[in-house]
Amino acid sequence: MNVADIAIVGSGPAGISAALNAKIRNKSYYLFGTAALSDKVRRSECISNYPGIADVGGRTLHEMFTGQLSQAGIEITEKRITGIYNMGKYFALLADQDEFYAKTVILATGVETVRPIPGERELLGRGVSYCATCDGNLYKGKTIAVICDNAEMEEEAFYLAELAGKVYYRPLFKGSGFAAGHGELLSGPVAEIRGEERVSGICLKDGTEISVDGVFFLKESVSPAVLLRGLDAEDGHVAVNRRMETNVKGCYAAGDCTGIPYQLAKAVGEGNVAAHSAIKYLAEQAVKKQ
């Protein structure tokens, strides 16, 4: 079993900063995310408050990040982590059907841009899912609702449409490629997930009620507390101390996911601190083993 020193979950500025430091300090690591790095960075029109680079456009900064990663020889493991399990001496990270292992974890997932709706968290694992590949098969031939917050993940909605008997779909972005053959577009936003033991239906903002067996949320970022059970939260963010330590030993967090201000400089600073804290922890564990 290959157990890396550090697993960094998220390829935005915080994750990139953590990976650069892990690489410089010769630690083995995974940097999980996408080649697109961070949607937020690419969408920024003009960044004027980042030291050393005056008035830079998001796309230019994205190219600079990509260039720096490639120059440093840092590869991105293009996987979406859907669950993290604390195994005591190491962490197991699930990405669809794949499993990865690491001695420490740095959560750099960014912040959930779409707030959970009533019933979403309460019925998670009981009809609500964030992972099409993991749970799609459970809904073969059944009726589901799919809410997708970004174009890159729409492929997963099409996959679910192939499996399910009927799909009600709500894209939260412009330019959806969803066609009539895939299912039915919802006429308005989903306001609530209904159900007692399990999901029984959805309620739209205009009051329309629709019976469904399951609801899939395809989101760029879900709360790290959903990924790793037992993680302490504060005001909806991961609770950390100044060393970026969470309440889970060996698990650190950095960037927007730890709270406001949502800013680049804070994200890269925290990514740096988290990586150094993880490296210190690894050294302490190595001494204990001797």
Ligand X SMILES: Cc1cc2nc3c(=O)[nH]c(=O)nc-3n(C[C@H](O)[C@H](O)[C@H](O)COP(=O)(O)OP(=O)(O)OC[C@H]3O[C@@H](n4cnc5c(N)ncnc54)[C@H](O)[C@@H]3O)c2cc1C
- Binding residues for ligand X restricted to 67-86, rule: CB under 6 A: 80-81
Q: Please tell me the number of Cα atoms within 13 Å of 125 on its side-chain side.
A: 7
What is the helix (H) or strand (E) element at residue 284, kind and residue range?
Answer: helix 264-289
Nearest alpha-carbon partner for 185 in 204, 199, 207: 204
263 contacts ligand X (rule: CB under 6 A): yes
- Binding residues for ligand X restricted to 120-139, rule: CB under 6 A: none
Which of 18, 256, 259, 275 is close enough to bind ligand X by CB under 6 A?
256
Look up residue 152 and give its two tokens.
Answer: 């890159």
- Binding residues for ligand X restricted to 202-231, rule: CB under 6 A: 220-221
- Output the CA–CA distances (angstroms, integers) from residue 262 to 14, 80, 176, 227, 257, in the order listed: 11, 22, 28, 21, 9
Nearest alpha-carbon partner for 85 in 73, 102, 97, 68: 102
How far apart CA 41 and CA 59 sit, in angstroms, is 7
Residue 137 C-beta: closest distance to ligand X, Å: 20
Q: Considering beta carbons, is residue 156 or 256 the nearer one to ligand X?
A: 256
Residue 200 C-beta: closest distance to ligand X, Å: 28
Residue 209 C-beta: closest distance to ligand X, Å: 31
How far apart CA 38 and CA 83 sit, in angstroms, is 20
246 contacts ligand X (rule: CB under 6 A): no
Torsion angles phi and psi, residue 65, rounded to 5: -60, -45
Q: Considering beta carbons, is residue 84 or 186 the nearer one to ligand X?
A: 84
The count of chain residues that interact with ligand X, using the rule CB under 6 A, is 32
Q: Considering beta carbons, is residue 12 or 250 the nearer one to ligand X?
A: 12
43 contacts ligand X (rule: CB under 6 A): yes
Q: DSSP character for 162?
A: H
- Burial-class residue 28 by CB neighbours within 10 Å (0-12, 13-18, 19+): middle
- Binding residues for ligand X restricted to 1-40, rule: CB under 6 A: 9-15, 32-34, 37-38, 40
Which of 6, 20, 41, 157 is close enough to bind ligand X by CB under 6 A?
41
Interaction site with ligand X (CB under 6 A): 9-15, 32-34, 37-38, 40-41, 43-44, 47, 49, 80-81, 108-110, 220-221, 255-256, 262-265, 267
